[in-house]
Amino acid sequence: MSFRHLWAVIRKELQHILRDRGTFILVLVTPTLVLLLMTYSLAVEIQHVPIALLDYDQSPTSREFIHQITAGDDLDLYENATSMEQIEDLLIKGKIKAAIIIGPEFSQDLLAMRGLSLQIIIDGTEPETGGFAVDHIGWRAESFANDILADQILTSGISLDSLEPIDLRIRSWYNPSLKPRIDIVPGLLSIVLGFPAFSVALTLAREHEHSTMEQLLATPISRIELLLGKMIPYIMAGLVNVIVIPIIAIAWFNVPFNGNFLEFLLLSAIFLFAELSMGMIIGVFMKSQSAALALSFLVVLFPGFFLTGIFFPIAALPEMARMESMFLPGTHYAIITRGVFLPGIGMDTLWPYAIMLVILGTAFTGTAALFFKKKLA
């Protein structure tokens, strides 16, 4: 392989990245923007869930109950309803996500230990809010009941702390308060750092569209030299991102970084090799930029989101999807980024994933070279 040829192509492509506004933005600016945007809107702690209450009891106990329920930030009292129709209306219009209906005999039932005369209605159309509402309302109701019934329980000769015999000690490693922002950011990193793959898919198509491909093919450059020459500049740009974006993540979002940065750099370079060669295959098959971009959305972006185990645990995916996810470099890199940031593990544990990425990268590049003919037709 001629390094002169390789270097000539790399240089030309680098000049293009630096001089073409669209490419520059796509490769070097978009990843950061997307990371910021996504973190702010996805890693959201649920709070201020609007609920409505319908109190048929209207007793001091029920009013105390209402007070307790809405005491915190998690549930917001939107409306003190006066009828069932109103509740229905509010739910349908989406103004409230849950409603609590306090039965007419609430306080009597409670004190007589006949149960909590409550009906909780939740809006099942939104993923997290319904479950959240049930959990939080349930906890508050339970502790309310505990308080009220405290005396009665004591008189029946049971000590309060025997009400929950099992001492459940919960610890959460790496992310003690289970803040979604902390663990989502490394996951998102693995998505945004793969963005240069789009540009790689475009670069071959661009030569076609700008009529420079023909001239390029007439020169004695070999396929590998051409493909690698076009890929390497984007790996380089990707590495710039690898250095800059984690710094932003750490500084802005307070995400801990416990691993070895040099190892991370190396592993990221390998990932870029694999991910970008995936983009290269797309580029080899598509002759127009629009087609290349559309295909990369379908094959790289969307699966990258859903199948790499960042938002949906891979274990929970159906068998076939799990197999597919093994072929995505993003899946392995997500494990690497999560591992390097939070637990801070290193090459000694992560090497199998590195090997996997090398294999994928070589396979993809090889396939691209195989199908890339130096002929116009």
Partner 1 sequence: MTDKEFIKITDLTRKFKETIALDSINLTIQEGELFGLVGPDGAGKTTLLRTLAGLLGISSGEVRAAGCELHKNTETIKSKIGYMAQEFSLYGKLSVLENLQFFGEMYDVPPALQKERIPGLLAFAQLTDFTNRRAAKLSGGMKKKLALACTLLHQPPILLLDEPTTGVDPVSRREFWNILNDLHLDGTTIIVSTPYMDEADRCSRVGLIYQGRIAICDSPENIRQKIEGEFIKIVTNDWQKAREVIHPIKGVLEVQSYGEALHILVDSSTKRLGQIQNTLQKNKLEIMEIRVIKPRMEEAFISLIRKMGQTN
Partner 2 sequence: MIRRILALVKKEFLHLKGDWWLPAFMLFGGTLELLAIGWATSRPITNLPLMIWDMDRTAASRNLVISLENTGVFTLTEPAESMGTIETMMDQGKINAAVIIPHGFSSEIETIEGHPVLQVILNGAESIPAREALRAVEGVVRSLDEEIMIDHLGIDPDLFKGFDFSLRVWFNEALNEAYYTTPAELALMLEFTILIFAALTFSREREFGTLEQLLVMPFSSLEIIIGKSIPVILVGLVDFTLMLGVVHFAFHVPVRGSVFLLFGLAFIYTLVELGKGMAISVFSKSQHQAFLLVFMVGMIDFLFTGYAAPVESMPKIIQYLAYLVPAHHWLNIMRGITLKGSGFLDILPDILFLLGLGGVIGYFSLRYIRKALD
**Cα 79 from chain centroid (whole Å):** 34
Question: Applying CB under 8 A, does 288 fall inside the site for partner 1?
Answer: no
Q: Taking CB under 8 A as the rule, which mask of x and - marks residues 356-375 in contact with partner 1? A: ------------------xx
Piece of the chain touching partner 1 by CB under 8 A; list 14-22, 41-49, 124-132, 354-362: 14-22
Give which of partner 1, partner 2, none residue 8 binds (C-beta under 5 to 8 Å, depending on kind): partner 1
**Residue of the chain from 31, 186, 233, 361 that contacts partner 2 (CB under 8 A):** 186
Give which of partner 1, partner 2, none residue 210 binds (C-beta under 5 to 8 Å, depending on kind): partner 1
Shortest distance, CB of residue 224 to partner 2, whole angstroms?
A: 26
Question: Applying CB under 8 A, does 48 fall inside the site for partner 1?
Answer: no
**Residue number with CB closer to partner 1 (133 or 228):** 228
Question: Applying CB under 8 A, does 91 fall inside the site for partner 2?
Answer: yes
Total of residues contacting partner 1 (CB under 8 A): 27
Query: Minimal CA–CA distance to 81: which of 96, 59, 67?
Result: 96
Give which of partner 2, partner 1, none residue 214 binds (C-beta under 5 to 8 Å, depending on kind): partner 1
Q: Positive or negative, the Cα torsion across 195, 201, 204, 207?
A: negative
Q: Taking CB under 8 A as the rule, which mask of x and - marks residues 205-244 in contact with partner 1? A: -----xxx-xxxxxxxxx----------------------
310: Cα within 13 Å, side-chain hemisphere: 32
Question: Applying CB under 8 A, does 19 fall inside the site for partner 1?
Answer: yes
Question: Applying CB under 8 A, does 46 fall inside the site for partner 2?
Answer: yes
Give which of partner 1, partner 2, none residue 362 binds (C-beta under 5 to 8 Å, depending on kind): none
**Residue number with CB closer to partner 2 (183 or 207):** 183
Rounded distance between C-alpha atoms, residue 252 and residue 256, angstroms: 11
Q: What is the dihedral of CA 42, 182, 187, 232, to 10 degrees?
A: 110
Rounded distance between C-alpha atoms, residue 75 and residue 22, angstroms: 45
**Residue of the chain from 14, 248, 294, 358 that contacts partner 2 (CB under 8 A):** 294
Shortest distance, CB of residue 276 to partner 1, whole angstroms?
A: 21
Give the pair of three-digit tokens for residue 314: 């891979």
Shortest distance, CB of residue 222 to partner 1, whole angstroms?
A: 7
Looking at residues 262 to 291 of the shown chain, list those that interact with partner 2 (rule: CB under 8 A): 289-291
Rounded distance between C-alpha atoms, residue 332 and residue 215, angstroms: 39
| Residue 67: Cβ within 10 Å count | 11
Indicate left, alpha or beta for 83 from its phi (over 0: left) and psi (-120 to 50: alpha): beta
Question: Applying CB under 8 A, does 13 fall inside the site for partner 2?
Answer: no
Shortest distance, CB of residue 175 to partner 2, whole angstroms?
A: 3
**Residue number with CB closer to partner 2 (89 or 263):** 89
**Residue of the chain from 166, 168, 251, 376 that contacts partner 1 (CB under 8 A):** 376
C-alpha to C-alpha distances, 169 to 112, 166, 172, nearest whole angstrom:
33, 9, 10
Q: What are phi and psi of 139, to 5 degrees?
A: -60, -50
Question: Applying CB under 8 A, does 14 fall inside the site for partner 1?
Answer: no
Shortest distance, CB of residue 282 to partner 1, whole angstroms?
A: 22
99 CB-near residues (< 8 Å, 6+ apart):
51, 52, 53, 54, 81, 87, 90, 91, 120, 121
Query: Minimal CA–CA distance to 39: which of 246, 198, 284?
Result: 246
C-alpha to C-alpha distances, 69 to 83, 156, 165, nearest whole angstrom:
20, 28, 26
Piece of the chain touching partner 2 by CB under 8 A; list 123-131, 220-228, 243-251, 267-275: 123-131
Rounded distance between C-alpha atoms, residue 222 and residue 288, angstroms: 22
108 CB-near residues (< 8 Å, 6+ apart):
114
DSSP code, position 193: T
Question: Applying CB under 8 A, does 347 fall inside the site for partner 2?
Answer: no
Piece of the chain touching partner 1 by CB under 8 A; list 8-16, 187-195, 260-268, 282-290: 8-16
Angle in degrees, CA 54, 60, 66, rounded to 5: 40
In the complex, which residues of this chain contact partner 1 (CB under 8 A)? Answer: 2, 4-5, 7-8, 11-12, 15-16, 19-20, 210-212, 214-222, 374-377
